[in-house]
Amino acid sequence: MEQIRALGRKLVLMIIDGAIIAASFHLALNLRFQWEIPPEIGARWTENGPWMVGLYLLAFALGGLYEVMWQYAGVRDLTRLAVLVAIPNALIFIINAWVIHGVLHNTVMFISAILAFLFIGGIRFVWRWVRFILFSPQGAKKAPVLIVGAGNAAAWAVTLCKQKENFGNPVVMVDDDLKKKNLRVQGVPVRGIISDVPELVRKYHIQEIVIAIPTLRGERLREVVNLCTSTRARVRMLNDPQLVEKDTLKTRAGLREVNTSDFLSRDEVVLDADRIRQYLAGKTVLVTGGGGSIGSELCRQIIKFNPKQLLVFDIYENCAYELEMELKRTYGQDVPVTVLIGSIRDKKRLDEVFEKYHPQVVFHAAAHKHVPLMEISPAEAVKNNVMGTKNLLSSASAHGVERFVQLSTDKAVNPTNVMGCTKRLCELLLQAFAKGTEMKCMAVRFGNVLGSHGSVIPLFESQIRKGGPVTITHPDIVRYFMTIPEAAQLVLQAGSLAESGSIYVLDMGDPVKIMDLAKKLIRFYGYEPGVDMDIVVTGLRPGEKLYEELMLDAEQEKMQKTAHNKIFVAPPSEIDVSRFYEQLSELNEAAEHNDEGVIQCLEKMVPTYHPNREMLKGE
């Protein structure tokens, strides 16, 4: 039904445009001959007019004029119209000079082109104005809005707000370009620079702020978002105007809520796409834990590099199925994605998968990662994280895998919890295994990711929505954060470096104090910490550290830069391989019972592990 409507709209516009072009030619002829068109000239126009009009309409259709949403049109769309008028006019000029030998006057073609541009553009903007007058709600009844930015995007934001009944009324703008001060954009005055936002919010009784500068990135975006959220006004971001035609509710809405990625924004990751494509394009790629937060984003990024087949391996079928449906909606039903259900603990199942599909690249994201839960069930952490990784490495190597990329964590550095200790063992296992295989093995170590399952931010948001209080474990606790897409992209980039046995460490930026993060989130939701909503300190949980580290002391001394400015590489650890595998066998036996024997084995294998834990009573 939507396609039929769109086709009908396009046909109506083409008929109207055809009539306008014909009228423009006729008016140009009258102007040229002072309203007394010679009969022979009129006959020439009647004979040649249809193909000239058709040439214009063809140019309009091929040039995308009928895909423009004129209620949001700006200078870019008028420029497009001018070019699409000029192209057929130039072709008509050439045909007139070389094919039909001057039967049309050059002045007529020039005047008609100007008239066509003015009439076609004018009628669209008049219709936009009429729609606004007839259908938009009265601005005075709407909440006052401040727009951050005074460029093309801000102009589109003003139009959007005026047309949508549930959006506010723009009354003032700010922009750091001093030349724009006291000018007006779509009738809205520019009254200051971005640092003036708090003052203008008070002066104009602003209830909502719309950030309309699409080019804001990294630290500057974080500064602007933090400034706006500190006013306690509602803060929203403008979606890219070019996405408004996409068939999703989010983009049609035009505005979106600010999220934690915005006020913890980091500079955009620049990838060496060619280097990633070299090892992914045309290959069969397996992602374990592919339905999880990081695993699913890895899959989304991998599919962009045209693998021969993407295998999503996960024990939990619901998330994996949802990812499969998402990829099919995005890339079509024939997208080369296969979901495989299974556990990395099951060596036979892994061998079946490798024998049937022959993956060439493996990304290992499957793991138990919840710190407090693994303190209670250390044996399960060992079985899944350590022994599961050993199973996967063995199967991958035996079946000719070219490259094996394991995801690690900053909790593996000087671990105080079982989860971190098992992940450190996985790093050591991978480095030991790399000594005896042609398969390129590497680990990628990074910190917390925003919005992942079980992370602190969804917990805070849930507590705030319920009215508080917000709980943190210690007032001085700090963590490293990056977005899920950034983490996935850097993992793919690290995988292209391919120094077997190495641990790649991602640049996580500056650590974030969790207390500050809680306060920002509370203000983001319109409350004042300690006034409208309390923050309660509950004490460190078993296995939790005040701060995380990305590198061991020994690694810091030898840490080297790579070709990518956000990826560093630590050299392989010195490992007595035979002794390591003996201890691994002892750990496997200890994991048959969920008791302190598991912890004792872990302490022997990882000297930097200093337990900070409690076992459940009765365990």
Tokens 């695993």: give the residue: 295
**Distance in angstroms (rounded) separating the CA atoms of residues 221 and 211:** 10
The helix/strand/coil state of 262 is helix
Out of 142, 180, 390, 411, the active site residue is 411
Residue 146 · residue 233 · CB < 8 Å: yes
Q: Please choose, from the candidates 118, 104, 115, 113, the residue with its C-alpha nearest in 3D space to the C-alpha of residue 37.
A: 104
Q: Please choose, from the candidates 266, 262, 258, the residue with its C-alpha nearest in 3D space to the C-alpha of residue 524.
A: 258
**Distance in angstroms (rounded) separating the CA atoms of residues 76 and 63:** 13
Residue 579 · residue 358 · CB < 8 Å: no
**Distance in angstroms (rounded) separating the CA atoms of residues 123 and 120:** 6
Residue 142 · residue 135 · CB < 8 Å: no
Q: Across-strand partners of 310?
A: 285, 337
> Which letter, b or e, does each residue of 341-379 get, where b requires 16 or more Cβ atoms within 10 Å of its Cβ?
ebbbbebebbeebbeebebbbbbbbbbbbebbebbbbbb
Is 304 a catalytic site residue?
no
**C-alpha 46: how far from chain center:** 55
Q: Please choose, from the candidates 514, 509, 448, 510, the residue with its C-alpha nearest in 3D space to the C-alpha of residue 477.
A: 514
**Distance in angstroms (rounded) separating the CA atoms of residues 453 and 472:** 17
| Helices marked H in 33-74 | 39-62
Rounded to a whole number of angstroms, the distance between the first and last alpha carbons of the chain is 61
**Distance in angstroms (rounded) separating the CA atoms of residues 553 and 568:** 15
- Number of helices followed by number of strands (H, E) in the chain: 23, 22
The sheet carrying 309-314 orders its strands as 337-341, 309-314, 284-288, 361-364, 403-409, 440-446, 502-506, 567-570, 560-561
* Catalytic residue annotation: 411
